[in-house]
């Protein structure tokens, strides 16, 4: 087997385990409320993530 075919085979095998995440938010009506709750929880214990955005949400 030549190197090119070997690389193709490796790529195909690796793609079998590929998880693709798409940037489309769910269409559920409660999703925006969920997002806002996550933002609020990020500021609280135990996370305490700072808001690094120059403007408030």
pLDDT, tens digit, for every residue of 6-35? 888 888 887 777 777 878 878 888 988 998
Number of domains in the chain: 1
- Flag whether 50 is in a domain: no
- What pLDDT, on the 0 to 100 scale, is given for residue 57? 59
Task: Give the pLDDT score at 44.
Answer: 92
Residues whose CB falls within 8 Å of the CB of residue 47, separated by 6 or more in sequence, listed in order = 41
Task: Tell me, yes or no, if the pTM score tops 0.85.
Answer: no
Asked whether residue 17 is domain-assigned, the answer is: yes
Q: Which residue has the higher pLDDT, 11 or 45?
A: 45
Higher pLDDT, 2 or 20: 2
Place of tokens 């070997």: 6
Residue 39 lies in a domain: yes
Instruction: Give the position of tokens 């693709």.
Output: 20
């Amino acid at each position: 087997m030549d190197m090119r075919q070997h690389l193709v085979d490796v790529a195909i095998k690796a793609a079998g385990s590929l998880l693709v995440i798409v940037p489309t938010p769910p269409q559920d009506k409660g999703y925006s409320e969920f997002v806002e709750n996550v933002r609020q929880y990020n500021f609280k214990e135990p996370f305490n993530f700072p808001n690094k955005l120059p403007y408030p949400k």
